[in-house]
Amino acid sequence: MKKTAIVVGAGIVGLATAKALANNGYKVTVLEKTEKAVGASIRNFGMVWPIGQPDGELYQLAKKSASVWKNICDGMGMWFNQSGSLHVAYSKEEWIVLNELLVQFEKEGRPVSLLTPSQIAVKFPHVKQAQLMGGLYSSDEMIVDPRIAVANVSEYLKEFSAVEFLWNHTVQEVGNGYVKSGHLVLNADKIFVCSGPDIETLFPAEFNALPIVKCKLQMMRMVMPIHRSISTSVCGGLSLLHYNSFKQAPSLPLLREKISAEMPEYIQYGIHVMVSQHEAGELTVGDSHEYGFTFDPFDQQHINDLILSYLNRFMNAESWQLKATWNGVYPKMTDGSSWYFSEPINDVYILNGLGGAGMTLSFGVAEKMVEEVI
Ligand SMILES: Cc1cc2nc3c(=O)[nH]c(=O)nc-3n(C[C@H](O)[C@H](O)[C@H](O)COP(=O)(O)OP(=O)(O)OC[C@H]3O[C@@H](n4cnc5c(N)ncnc54)[C@H](O)[C@@H]3O)c2cc1C
Q: How far apart are CA 324 and CA 64, in angstroms?
A: 32
Which mean pLDDT values do the consecutive 10-residue runs of the chain (374 residues) have? 96 98 98 98 98 98 98 97 98 98 98 98 98 98 97 98 98 98 98 97 95 98 96 98 97 98 98 97 98 96 98 98 98 98 98 98 98 96
Instruction: Name the 3-class secondary structure at 353.
Output: coil
Centre of ligand 1 to C-alpha 329, Å, is 8
Q: Which residues pair with 221 in a beta bridge?
A: 284, 324
Which atom of ligand 1 lies at the shortest distance from residue 41's CA? 21
Mutate to test the pocket of ligand 1, among 31, 38, 41 (most ligand atoms within 8 A of CB): 41
Residue of 20, 7, 372 lying closest to 188 (CA atoms): 7
Residue 340 near ligand 1, beta carbon < 6 Å: no
pLDDT value of residue 1: 85
**Dihedral angle sign, alpha carbons of residues 109, 81, 313, 328:** negative
What residues have CB less than 8 Å from 48, skipping those under 6 apart? 62, 65, 66, 69, 141, 142, 143, 144, 359, 360
Contact, 194 vs 7, CB < 8 A?
A: yes
Q: How far apart are CA 14 and CA 366, in angstroms?
A: 9
How many Cα atoms are found within 13 Å in the side-chain-facing hemisphere of 367?
12
The burial class, CB within 10 Å (0-12 / 13-18 / 19+), for 286 is: buried
Residue 170 near ligand 1, beta carbon < 6 Å: yes
* 64-96 burial code (b ≥16 CB/10 A, e <16): bbbebbbebbeebebebbebbbbbbbbeebbbb
Centre of ligand 1 to C-alpha 56, Å, is 25
Residue 146 near ligand 1, beta carbon < 6 Å: no
pLDDT value of residue 127: 98
Mutate to test the pocket of ligand 1, among 12, 17, 44 (most ligand atoms within 8 A of CB): 44
pTM score, two decimals? 0.98
Residue of 171, 229, 221 lying closest to 323 (CA atoms): 221
Cα Rg of the chain, angstroms = 21
Which atom of ligand 1 lies at the shortest distance from residue 276's CA? 8
Measure the N-to-C terminal CA separation of the chain; round to a whole number of Å: 16
**Dihedral angle sign, alpha carbons of residues 321, 298, 195, 268:** positive
At residue 69, what are phi and psi to the nearest 5 degrees? -55, -45
* Alpha helices in the chain, H assignment, sequence order: 12-23, 57-76, 92-107, 117-123, 146-161, 199-202, 204-209, 252-262, 264-268, 301-314, 358-373
Which atom of ligand 1 lies at the shortest distance from residue 170's CA? 42
Q: How far apart are CA 335 and CA 333, in angstroms?
A: 6
Q: How far apart are CA 152 and CA 311, in angstroms?
A: 31
- The widest CA-to-CA distance across the chain, in whole angstroms, is 67
* CA distances for 211 relative to 131, 156, 192, angstroms: 42, 34, 20
Cβ atoms < 10 Å from Cβ of 293: 11
The burial class, CB within 10 Å (0-12 / 13-18 / 19+), for 103 is: exposed
pLDDT value of residue 147: 94
Residue 168 near ligand 1, beta carbon < 6 Å: no
Q: How far apart are CA 80 and CA 252, in angstroms?
A: 32
Q: How far apart are CA 33 and CA 9, in angstroms?
A: 7
Centre of ligand 1 to C-alpha 32, Å, is 12
pLDDT value of residue 42: 98
Instruction: Name the 3-class secondary structure at 10.
Output: coil
State which H helix or E strand residue 216 sits in.
strand 212-223
Instruction: Identify the structural domains of the chain with CATH numbers, from first to last.
Output: 4-64+146-210+336-373 (3.50.50.60), 85-139+212-333 (3.30.9.10)
